[in-house]
Amino acid sequence: MFLHVDPYPGDPILTLNEDFQKDPRTDKINLSIGIYFDEQGRLPVMDAVRQAESAMLSQIGPKPYLPMTGNPAYREAVQHLLFGADHEAVRSGRIATIQTLGGSGGLKVGGDFLKRYFPNSQVWVSDPTWDNHRAMFEGAGFQVNTYPYYDPETKGLKFDAMLSAIDALPAQSIVLLHACCHNPTGVDLNQAQWRQLIEVIQRRRLLPYLDIAYQGFGDGIEEDAFALRALADAGVSFFVANSFSKSFSLYGERVGGLSVVCPDKAQAQLVLGQLMSAVRRNYSSPPTHGSQIVARVLQTPDLRQMWESELTQMRDRIKVMRQRLYDGVVARLPGRDVRYFIDQRGMFSYTGVSPQQADALREQHGVYVLRSGRMCAAGLNANNVDRVAEAFAAVLRAG
Ligand code: LMR
């Protein structure tokens, strides 16, 4: 019956993370998957989350299905966090927001909606992008193309090439953009570049789809939402999938959202209805627990403050580790330009190591990075950073 089923080659991120778990070496270091580990190398339980969950435990009640759109308090909290509570688009009701199964669930539901209502559009993703973007949109039935983004020479952004490629797209092309902390490169647009890009998007009547999975890991919660707010200010209609996996350390709870910023409230109602239909066709309705935690933290002033300061500590710790890695590699390879370790932002750094060098890091040094060369800097800590610097220096020296 199933002999024609193709063997699954595995996922470049999730399968490598599983390989890491199976590796018997006790000194192995996981810089593969985009997960924040604390200074002790543990997956943190944030204090704000712990307190919210404790309060929830004392109020255990029935667990009915949530609406197809999800938890109303959570949906409101998502809008306020992404756009600001006082943003005109929020106040006028022209954003359709649903709770989804992580950011991936948001991307998937939005992809299904788009295929139904923009069947002739094609999707354009950055070169490179998160491995799953292409698979998701191809899975929704789209042709997926790339626009220039990362420059391997400078390990920075090819902004002019990116802008002119996007400026040549047909109207209603779907342009996937990372709002901050680009995955996998850690290379972001600055605010002036966003403004230029938004002008092109508007003029060519493109349909941006933003992915924001790392809000708070770049420059700050508000700063990292710049692109979303600038697009909404400019009156552009767009999609945004968001995730709380990293910023609340709630990976397994699958807490995310999808928001569609529309021209007016009436259109937002139409879009919301068809998002509900897409949810029903996929999984009926989302789960309760994670959304209750996030809503409680974001809407309780002292918990919110606690969460913001914990997130700030996480962001700052990654920056310190980036600097220590940079110092460690430069000390071992004087004159080598590895400034990208500190210039790239968020959890990820695109290190420029080849697939063979990534294999050498893993096999010879027990240091796991993706074969694309992506390293998760949030897996570095004071105990492992020198060993990682030593390992990088060794494979870079060997060429
Ligand atoms: C990553 O990019 O490593 C994370 O977003 C986890 C995932 O699902 O790929």
The phi and psi torsions of 319 (rounded to 5 degrees) equal -65, -40
DSSP 399: -
Given 112, 188, 211, 224, the catalytic residue: 211
In 3D space, the residue among 103, 102, 141 whose CA is nearest the CA of residue 122 turns out to be: 141
Catalytic annotation present for 130: yes
pLDDT tens-digit series, residues 280-309: 999 999 999 999 999 999 999 999 999 999
Angstrom distance (rounded) from CA 137 to CA 163: 22
Where helices occur in 40-172 by DSSP H, the ranges are: 47-57, 72-83, 88-91, 102-117, 131-139, 159-166
Distance 303 CA to ligand 1 centre (A): 27
User: What is residue 156's three-state secondary structure?
Assistant: strand
Q: What is the pLDDT of residue 317?
A: 97
DSSP string, 320-383: HHHHHHHHHHHHHSTT---THHHHS-TTEEE----HHHHHHHHHHH-EE--TTSEEEGGG--TT
Indicate which residue's Cα is closest to atom 4 of ligand 1: 34
Indicate which residue's Cα is closest to atom 5 of ligand 1: 34
In 3D space, the residue among 74, 127, 136 whose CA is nearest the CA of residue 99 turns out to be: 74
The reply to whether ligand 1 has any atom less than 6 angstroms from the CB of 286 is no
pLDDT tens-digit series, residues 137-170: 999 999 999 999 999 999 999 999 999 999 999 9
pLDDT tens-digit series, residues 177-217: 999 999 999 999 999 999 999 999 999 999 999 999 999 99
The reply to whether ligand 1 has any atom less than 6 angstroms from the CB of 372 is no
pLDDT at 399 > cutoff 90: no
pLDDT tens-digit series, residues 233-242: 999 999 999 9
Q: What is the pLDDT of residue 121?
A: 98
Given 108, 112, 124, 130, the catalytic residue: 130
The reply to whether ligand 1 has any atom less than 6 angstroms from the CB of 129 is no
pLDDT tens-digit series, residues 353-377: 999 999 999 999 999 999 999 999 9
Question: Counting atoms of ligand 1 from 1, which one is nearest the CA of 245?
Answer: 5
Average pLDDT value for residue range 321-345: 94
Question: What does the mean pLDDT of the chain come to?
Answer: 97
The reply to whether ligand 1 has any atom less than 6 angstroms from the CB of 159 is no
In 3D space, the residue among 165, 161, 128, 124 whose CA is nearest the CA of residue 145 turns out to be: 124
Q: What is the pLDDT of residue 46?
A: 98
Q: What is the pLDDT of residue 93?
A: 98
Angstrom distance (rounded) from CA 381 to CA 315: 13
Q: What is the pLDDT of residue 118?
A: 98
Question: Counting atoms of ligand 1 from 1, which one is nearest the CA of 33?
Answer: 3
132, 243, 348: residue to mutate for ligand 1 pocket, most atoms within 8 A of CB: 132
Q: Cβ(252)–Cβ(237) under 8 Å?
A: no
HEC secondary structure over 22-75: HCCCCCCEECCCCCCCCCCCCCCCCHHHHHHHHHHHCCCCCCCCCCCCCCHHHH
pLDDT tens-digit series, residues 94-139: 999 999 999 999 999 999 999 999 999 999 999 999 999 999 999 9
Q: pTM for the full model? A: 0.96
Angstrom distance (rounded) from CA 141 to CA 139: 5
Q: Cβ(205)–Cβ(171) under 8 Å?
A: yes
Element housing 154 (H / E): none
210-246 b/e (C-beta count within 10 Å ≥ 16 → b): bbbbbbbbbebbeebbbbbbebbeeebbbbbbbbbbb
Q: What is the pLDDT of residue 367?
A: 98
pLDDT tens-digit series, residues 7-24: 999 999 999 999 999 999
Band (pLDDT 50/70/90 cuts) for residue 84 is very high
Measured between alpha carbons, how far is residue 363 from residues 3, 25, 301, 386 in Å?
34, 11, 48, 18
pLDDT at 218 > cutoff 90: yes
Distance 18 CA to ligand 1 centre (A): 13
Average pLDDT value for residue range 25-49: 96
The reply to whether ligand 1 has any atom less than 6 angstroms from the CB of 13 is yes
Q: What is the pLDDT of residue 375?
A: 97
Q: Which residues lie below 8 Å from residue 174, measured CB to CB, with a gap of 6+?
A: 114, 118, 121, 122, 123, 124, 137, 142, 206, 207, 208, 209
